[in-house]
Amino acid sequence: MARFPIPYLGLLYLCCWAAMADAKYKDPKLPIGIRIKDLLNHMTLAEKIGQMTQIERKNATVDVMKKFFIGSVLSGGGSTPKTNASAADWINMVNEMQKGSLSTRLGIPMIYGIDAVHGHNNVYKATIFPHNVGLGATRDPDLVKRIGAATALEVRATGIPYAFAPCIAVCRDPRWGRCYESYSEDPMIVQQMTELIPGLQGDIPANSRKGVPYVGGKDKVAACAKHFVGDGGTVNGINENNTVASGHDVYSIHMPAYYNSIIKGVSTVMASYSSLNGVKMHANRAMLTDFLKDTLHFRGFVISDWEGIDRITSPAHANYTYSIEASINAGVDMVMVPYNYPEFLNDLTDLVNKKAIPMSRIDDAVRRILRVKFSMGLFENPLSDHSFADKLGCKEHRELAREAVRKSLVLLKNGKSPNQPLVPLPKKAPKILVAGTHADNLGYQCGGWTIEWQGLSGNNMTDGTTILKAIKATVDPSTNVIFEENPTPDFVKSQGFSYAVVIVGEVPYAETNGDSLNLTIPEPGPTTITNVCGAIKCVVVVVSGRPVVIEPYVQSIDALVVAWLPGSEGQGVADVLFGDYRFTGRLARTWFKSVDQLPMSLGDAHYDPLFPFGFGLETKPNSH
């Protein structure tokens, strides 16, 4: 090895430092294209591959960020700095990791991402908005845009600049465990609800080029349209399964919302676990590169799903080198590893050195990642401050969530005959019964993807108002509200109740755990309906992520309301039940008679629903 005198080495270091200090990529006045090109020219292969790597926060120490040039960190569902972490706890954790990234040779900031899919749902005391299935029933894109803006503020309140939302799946079969993440079975409604993107990111400037990512400032976050493409059309609604579809169906049902998302400047697109006509989406070059990037001119980055590339093989991770090669060459730019990052870094480096993955593909991926980071202003503002901390779960956002609940409720039946409506319910009555497993359970009301990945049961998981609490706050002070979760018929008959509100539904789930071939309401729900509605006048409120089997009970029910998964603000349910506001929601999904009919969507030859797509009775509000 040649020996250099110490002064020479010092001079060499100074020259390098001077070159870096003069680097064009650090100048915010220069066009983004020039900054990207300059930074790419400075980067080693290790630095480029680091940018393509996203790891779970549990691995992300300052040393790891610095040593491996990690480009991105995420929180998986329920992965938090500590139990009941505050906004400050989140900010401090994210900033600590960011300091590791900024201390690298080039100081490229990392981007932290989180699943904020119905509000900032992993975070204690955040506002939990209704899940997408309910928002679709509102038919109100402006409401959804405002929810996006509120969610962005709450995500920024915790120092995070990137949300894995919206899910723009078109769920064609309610047996799918992610159906509540879909706005509708109708692609047109899903297209309208892409207004969440300008809510999260800001409205793109009038002169913006199509497909270029845009994030409009420190109160906005990068969004992610997911899961590309066809995730809602799998056979029998089985999660991560194969979608068998003609080209016409792909482009007219599953693809349209991506056109809108790209026009609105969405920063990232997440590949789906599912396959399309037998080809795994994470390895589908025709869709990810030829169509999404080349035909639609998407200029942001494509991110994998959680261990998504591992699942290219069956069993997962059986041939990881192949999975890396297939996914990167197909067009995946950033890989959600999330744990075993040394293996990913080593294997990808090896594949590039062997020319199995061309350097041009690596440069394209890194260029896209840097474009998003520059467009977000991450280089100028890499560290988060506490200026939005008071927005987490603030009153204004809770009022917005309450409005969303009101507008999402769908009235399916009102009275055993049209001239004897039961709702709006009278606030003043001597004694009323509230029954059912979902009446006083905030966790059930919020569903999956709330505090924990699979959701929780109970009332101490975060802040909010249960439907029981809301009813008690709404009725006349003289009205005696009796809560009995699963009363006997004798109890119901003997107490002299004026009427009953029965609130039952599904227990929380997420992803594959929610796949269901029977779609029945779990016991004691059906028993509670039978016991109560067989004895007195009753309104049944269904809390669920999708249509469920209700046909056997409809005859005995006086009024039937579907509340979907309303989130933390149960007061919105009582607002409409008792007539302070009117019912306006309409089904964005077909309600089947029996599961044997599935899949069944509007326009199918065998369409014979219990309640058709678009159905929803309206009421007039009570006069005050």
- Catalytic amino acids? 305, 511
* Rounded-to-integer distance, Cα 551 and Cα 557, Å: 10
Phi-psi region of 346 (alpha: psi -120 to 50; beta: other; left: phi over 0): alpha
Which residue is associated with the tokens 């297209």?
A: 191
Instruction: List Cα–Cα distances, 223 to 94, 207, 213, 363, 383, in angstroms.
Output: 18, 20, 9, 23, 19
Strand-pairing partners, residue 275, are: 242, 280
Instruction: Confirm if 196 and 135 have CB atoms less than 8 A apart.
Output: no
Chain position carrying tokens 């039952």: 504
What's the token pair of residue 58?
């549990």
Which H, E and C letters describe 415-438, residue by residue?
CCCCCCCCCCCCCCCCEEEEECCC
Q: Name the β-bridge partners of 302.
A: 269
What sign does the dihedral 570-572-578-583 (CA atoms) show? negative
Q: Which helix (H) or strand (E) holds 483?
A: strand 480-483
DSSP secondary structure code for residue 209 in this structure:
P
> What type of residue is 488?
T
- Burial (CB count within 10 angstroms: exposed 0-12, middle 13-18, buried 19+), residue 20: middle
Tokens read off for 38 = 């300059």
Is the backbone of residue 107 left (phi > 0), alpha (psi -120 to 50) or beta? left
CA 604 to chain CA mean position, Å: 29
C-alpha to C-alpha distance for 208 and 202, rounded to whole angstroms: 13
CB 206, CB 292: distance < 8 Å: no
CA–CA distance, 12 with 219 (Å, rounded to integer): 42
Cβ(433)–Cβ(537) under 8 Å? Answer: no
- Taking every pair of Cα atoms in the chain, the longest distance, rounded to a whole number of angstroms, is 99
Q: How many CB atoms lie within 10 A of CB 6?
A: 7
- The b-or-e profile of 58-87 (16+ CB within 10 A means b, else e) is ebbeeebbbebbbbbbbbbbbbbbeeebbb
Own/partner pairs for 453-462, CB < 8 Å, 24+ apart?
Answer: 453/76, 453/77, 453/78, 453/510, 454/77, 454/508, 454/509, 454/510, 454/513, 455/508, 455/509, 455/510, 456/508, 457/507, 457/508, 462/124, 462/125, 462/126, 462/128, 462/568
**177 touches 126 (CB < 8 A):** no
Beta carbons of 220 and 153 less than 8 angstroms apart: no
* DSSP state letter for 597: G
